[in-house]
Amino acid sequence: MALEFEQPILELEARIRELNEYAEEKGVDLGDEIELLQRKLDSLQKEVFSGLSRWQRVQLARAPGRPTTLDVLQTIFEDFTELHGDRAFADDPAIVAGIARFAGRSVAVAGHQKGKTTKDNIHRNFGMPHPEGYRKAMRMMDLADRFSMPFISLIDTPGAYPGISAEERGQAWVIAQSIQRMGRLRVPAIAVILGEGGSGGALAIGVGNRVLIMENAWYSVISPESCAAILWHDASQAERAADALRLTARDLKELGVVDEIVKEPAGGAHRDPQASMRELSKTISATLEELSGMNPDELLQDRYRRFRGMGAFDSG
Amino acid sequence: MALEFEQPILELEARIRELNEYAEEKGVDLGDEIELLQRKLDSLQKEVFSGLSRWQRVQLARAPGRPTTLDVLQTIFEDFTELHGDRAFADDPAIVAGIARFAGRSVAVAGHQKGKTTKDNIHRNFGMPHPEGYRKAMRMMDLADRFSMPFISLIDTPGAYPGISAEERGQAWVIAQSIQRMGRLRVPAIAVILGEGGSGGALAIGVGNRVLIMENAWYSVISPESCAAILWHDASQAERAADALRLTARDLKELGVVDEIVKEPAGGAHRDPQASMRELSKTISATLEELSGMNPDELLQDRYRRFRGMGAFDSG
Amino acid sequence: MALNRLFRRRRTSGGGRDVPDLWLKCPACEAQIYKKDLEANLMVCPECGYHFRMSAENRVRLLADENSFAQTSGAVRPVDALHFSDTAPYQERLERYQQKTGKSDAIYGGSCTIGGVPAMLFVMDYDFAGGSMGSVVGEELTRGAEQAASEGRAFVTVSSSGGARMQEAALSLMQMAKTTMALDRLWEKRLPYVSIMADPTTGGVTASFAALGDVVLAEPGALIGFAGPRVIKQTIRQDLPEGFQRSEFLLQKGMLDQVVKRQDLKETLARILRLLHPEGGRDGA
Amino acid sequence: MALNRLFRRRRTSGGGRDVPDLWLKCPACEAQIYKKDLEANLMVCPECGYHFRMSAENRVRLLADENSFAQTSGAVRPVDALHFSDTAPYQERLERYQQKTGKSDAIYGGSCTIGGVPAMLFVMDYDFAGGSMGSVVGEELTRGAEQAASEGRAFVTVSSSGGARMQEAALSLMQMAKTTMALDRLWEKRLPYVSIMADPTTGGVTASFAALGDVVLAEPGALIGFAGPRVIKQTIRQDLPEGFQRSEFLLQKGMLDQVVKRQDLKETLARILRLLHPEGGRDGA
Ligand SMILES: [Zn+2]
Ligand SMILES: [Zn+2]
């Protein structure tokens, strides 16, 4: 399941492991050889991961083993209590939601959920919500406002589900409503792009006072594959599309679309989920701290100002 | 299609009409005979309609030709503009809703709609809403609050639809939500029981500052037929159940459940729809006038006080 | 908490006959269960997990912190305002239920703490007129919500009810509005309301306060809905699908937050209240 | 209003070629229509009622009261902030669209009265990059909503758009949030917003401001949705049902308030605005 550009690194790591085992088993000293390989590994890692292309980062954002919303909720939050249902049509497993404690205070949370196995992924619809999912998220926003709890969203979706069932239950309407509802929160709102930030389906829960992004996550108006299919009638041009779309964390920071990049371990979050979640926890914590001084009206205004300023044009 | 107890009256009316026609056609003077019959008709009407049993009133409440919600909206309101849909699943024809002008001011309206023909009745599901219908009504309440318009509901339903489709989309939930939403209106709310007020499906849009009822309408926790089926395992005991349930306008006024009875023409609203709607218009107008002095907080409190006081018990 | 101690007292409900039924048959798995084992297991079948009904008093013992409960219900008593009579006068029925349950009406509640959080806890008693809601149930719940609001307590209800009480006719119907609107007292004070649905929760109870919890929990296998299954069957003239109107079905349909086994109910409830109530650290730093 | 007069001016859009196409074939009923007849009939097929697309300028003429319109759009111009290039550089494309439509971007709007009610009216121009929403469209709409709020005007949009503009990538995506949040300026002032969906209204436009009208109207037969039909077909790998994602379908599905024929659009819109706007007697006695 390794990504193509990870391959040489994984092979080198395996060889070092083997040598270590051999040395221990046989009681021979291979210290020099191992050190040499280790140094080679370090420089290889540096070479591979410092020069990651946008398209490679998209692949890291999708890597199996990368922390999912539930991983985050169960690891860096306490007392996570999942709440289900939209009170209208169904419970959508593509979005998980609930209440929890973060750094000692109660919060409401919602995020896209992908599966870890094929079966789980089918159950989660690959993290592509139906309208019910967004209505569930909006219920959490209501709870957040009602009980003065910050609202934290975790974004990890290829996009809202583009199928008949979703269309006929108002996918466009519910995304618009969710954007509006989140914009109206009278409590601190933080959006975290965890993995994939696919278009309106991501933005629906992305209207934070602050928007954080994991180093190898992406966020775009369209997935690179779909973009390539439209522009060049060829989905294999996705690499080119990824560049054109400027969809990486650093690109988005430059464009002012995200506020903060959460560092991932070399090789991506899936190579050390615990460390990357600790890093995320620190950043959320600092961001909450920063927002805690604002009253409800200030939070509303701050959020409006943030999104009001988005865009590039010439007013000459 | 006449009701059983109307029969002798209708026959007498027909005979008077015949005599009149005959007299005109042949140029003979039948004035005395006609006067005699007219007097007989008057006393017969008095006899029949002054002593109406509860069960007979239930039948009048269901009489074909009785003004429906749409009749009322198109007759005593101006500029009625129907608005459709619940923005989540469907448009429910069993509830009509919209905005209109009443006595010169804008209002939001919603009411149960029965059909006039069998085909229409099937389309309207006999005035039995699905959850979508109540969600549409709640949208009108939102509009009412947003634009400071009074909200007027028109109640005419045997009950919320008791079927699988309604249950699985949360019939109980949506009725509760609608009661709550209407209770929270910050504008004057008037509920009118036009015909049948069947249980929770009626109450869902019945939380007015004032509740008006047409003279021959009924309002009850259960229909007489269902009540009879439960208590005596015999739906034909409906007459007895109607008495036990005390479900007529006068009963409900005594119990404090309704505030005002709107007089109907002798023989019921279906015998002169225009006159009965004029009467309704006067009462709504006076009620709106009465409520117009209250500010939003007062309206909320007034509504809470009204329903807070409902019930009979011994605090000894 | 020592759950075993909960059931030391013999159940007093169950009515007139005093022949001790030492064994029970589980309606789900048909296992023969020794009654004391069932009681020790919170009235949950040890074989298959089927949740038997539980008395209101035992519910309170299950959910309230030990020695924290102080009953407030019982101050108001039902009257037959409509002189309702079917096969028996309503007044007579009331007296029979009062004798059977030792309660003035179908509800039992008061103040307590739950996981340390101050709360008002109200439990419907299915043994009293099928847990139906008339004027007294409505008034007790309303007073409970009002007291919770004025004392800064959370509000918790456990429903087990056939719906509105027919014998109080329109007055019962009005209790749906009254209890629903009483919840707004909590809303104004930003106090949490958790609704727990036990078997069965139908009709005017589901369609008013019970559906409106900030969090809505249900026990496994509970029948929950607006119309009763018999009415629906008559309407659609066909059999109902397996599992229809059961907790698990409603969870899938988006109506419930969680289906919680009775063994986990106290812990789940306490965790939710601590998260949502100011004293549980909601506004803490 | 004399509708005939609306189309006295020759349509200037349609671009470079100047060969006059005097006849058109209706894509719905295949009738041959004399173009002038079509224009006189508001671009609605006289045979079958099929609604052809209509230029933004003619839309404004249709909806604004005569001589009341004052353009405000056009003050901001698009830039290629991302140096986006596919088969042609974005900058080149922009210039081509600007030449073709005479507009700086895909929107045309300003202040006017509608049925006497003061309003800001914005119409998307499908001829400009498929009516797609980038930074300029977002900014124009936001300024429009803000101006409406500060001047006490109603806000009216007519959408005709393929969605967010790909060439501005994440910046386009952000316009969904920006325009949506701008609507709250109207909310605060209790001013009405009516959204009219014309063919087609899809993607990020439907999923932001266009869906959020206090009242949402659509023209007959308009394609309306989130995902485009091609994408859906690819996803589900089967044909889409007849009428799927058309106005009439969405009305049934509860998403629209009304489907309104173009001939009735002005009257319906004016009636709604008069009912909802303070100057239309909303708070009158
Ligand atoms: Zn069992
Ligand atoms: Zn045609």
Residue at B130 is within a domain: yes
Residues C143, C34: one domain?
no
Q: Structurally, how many domains does chain D consist of? A: 2
Please name the member of B232, B311, B314 whose beta carbon is closest to the beta carbon of C171.
B311
- Measure in Å the smallest separation between the Cα of B207 and chain C Cα atoms: 7
Residues A40, A154: one domain?
no
- Which chain D residue lies closest to A254 (C-alpha atoms)? D82
Q: Write down the pLDDT at residue D48.
A: 95
Residue at D154 is within a domain: yes
Residues B16, B44: one domain?
yes
Residues C194, C215: one domain?
yes
Spacing, Cα C245 to ligand 1 middle (Å): 20
Q: Which two tokens stand for residue D240?
A: 């889409």
Cβ neighbours of D211 (radius 10 Å): 29
Please name the member of D190, D251, D272 whose beta carbon is closest to the beta carbon of B84.
D251
In order, the DSSP letters of D252-275 are: HTT--SEE--HHHHHHHHHHHHHH
Residues B188, B44: one domain?
no
A177 in contact with B, Cβ within 8 Å: yes
Residues C29, C131: one domain?
no
For the CA of C43, the nearest ligand:
1
Q: What is the pLDDT of residues B185-206, one digit of tens each?
A: 999 999 999 999 999 999 999 9
Q: Which two tokens stand for residue B10?
A: 């209708």
Residue at C282 is within a domain: no
- Read off the pLDDT of each residue in C240-269 and give the average, rounded to a whole number: 97
A123 in contact with C, Cβ within 8 Å: no
Cβ neighbours of C164 (radius 10 Å): 30
Residues C33, C77: one domain?
no
Residue at A313 is within a domain: no
Q: Write down the pLDDT at residue B1.
A: 56
**For residue C33, what are the domain limits?**
11-52
Spacing, Cα D51 to ligand 2 middle (Å): 8
- Measure in Å the smallest separation between the Cα of D214 and chain A Cα atoms: 12
- Rounded CA-CA distance C157/C139 in Å is 14
In angstroms, the Cα distances linking D127 to A138, A155, D55, D96 are: 36, 34, 8, 11
Which residues touch D14 (CB under 8 Å, ≥6 apart)? D127
Residues B271, B184: one domain?
yes
Residue at D192 is within a domain: yes
Residues B16, B155: one domain?
no
Asked whether the CA dihedral A247, A252, A255, A257 is positive or negative, the reply is: positive
Residue at A137 is within a domain: yes
Residues B79, B156: one domain?
yes
- Rounded CA-CA distance A176/B97 in Å is 23
Q: Are A91 and A124 in contact (CB under 8 A)?
A: no
Residues C115, C223: one domain?
yes
pLDDT at C13 over 80: no
φ and ψ at residue B232, rounded to 5 degrees: -120, 10
Q: What is the pLDDT of residues C51-100, one digit of tens each?
A: 999 999 999 999 999 999 999 999 999 999 999 988 899 999 999 999 99
Residues in chain D within 8 Å Cβ distance of A207: 177, 181
- Rounded CA-CA distance C65/A211 in Å is 42
- Rounded CA-CA distance D247/D217 in Å is 9
CATH number, position D184: 3.90.226.10
Q: Write down the pLDDT at residue A48.
A: 83
Q: What is the pLDDT of residues B234-289, one digit of tens each?
A: 878 999 999 999 999 999 999 999 999 999 998 899 999 999 999 999 999 999 99
Whether there are 3 or more C-beta pairs closer than 8 Å between C and D is no
Spacing, Cα C39 to ligand 1 middle (Å): 13
ipTM: 0.94
Spacing, Cα D63 to ligand 2 middle (Å): 23
Q: Structurally, how many domains does chain B consist of? A: 2
Q: Write down the pLDDT at residue D282.
A: 55
Residue A316 burial (C-beta neighbours within 10 Å; 0-12, 13-18, 19+): exposed
Interchain CB distance below 8 Å, D232 and A164 = yes
Residue at C180 is within a domain: yes
- Rounded CA-CA distance C188/C186 in Å is 5
- Read off the pLDDT of each residue in B92-106 and give the average, rounded to a whole number: 97
Residue D24 CA, chain-centre distance (Å), reads: 23
Residues A47, A86: one domain?
no
Residues C82, C31: one domain?
no
**For residue B11, what are the domain limits?**
4-23+32-51
Which residues touch C118 (CB under 8 Å, ≥6 apart)? C111, C112, C151, C152, C153, C154, C277, C279
Residues A36, A62: one domain?
no
pLDDT at C122 over 50: yes
Residues A140, A158: one domain?
yes
Residue at A314 is within a domain: no
B181 in contact with A, Cβ within 8 Å: no
B143 in contact with C, Cβ within 8 Å: no
Q: What is the pLDDT of residues B164-174, one digit of tens each?
A: 999 999 999 99
Interchain CB distance below 8 Å, C256 and A85 = yes
Residues C239, C265: one domain?
yes
Residue at C187 is within a domain: yes
Residue at A172 is within a domain: yes
Interchain CB distance below 8 Å, A172 and D178 = no
Residues A106, A148: one domain?
yes
Residues A194, A249: one domain?
yes
Q: Which of B105, B132, B114, B125 shows the shortest CA–CA distance to B64?
A: B114
Residues C30, C102: one domain?
no
Residues D177, D42: one domain?
no
B245 in contact with C, Cβ within 8 Å: yes
Residues C67, C100: one domain?
yes
Residue at D284 is within a domain: no
A129 in contact with C, Cβ within 8 Å: no
- Which chain C residue lies closest to B220 (C-alpha atoms)? C170
Residues C203, C99: one domain?
yes
Q: Write down the pLDDT at residue C20.
A: 62
- Read off the pLDDT of each residue in C228-252 and give the average, rounded to a whole number: 92
Residue at A315 is within a domain: no
Q: Are A160 and A206 in contact (CB under 8 A)?
A: no
Spacing, Cα C24 to ligand 1 middle (Å): 10
B290 in contact with D, Cβ within 8 Å: no
For chains A and D, count residue pairs whose Cβ atoms are closer than 8 Å: 194
Residues A71, A213: one domain?
yes
pLDDT at B312 over 70: yes
Q: Identify the top-confidence range among A181-190, C30-39, C223-232.
A: A181-190
Residues D259, D131: one domain?
yes
Where does A106-261 have alpha helices with state H? Answer: 118-123, 131-146, 164-168, 171-183, 199-203, 224-232, 238-245, 249-255
Residues in chain A within 8 Å Cβ distance of B166: none
Q: Which two tokens stand for residue D92?
A: 């080149």
Residue at C91 is within a domain: yes
Residue at B73 is within a domain: yes
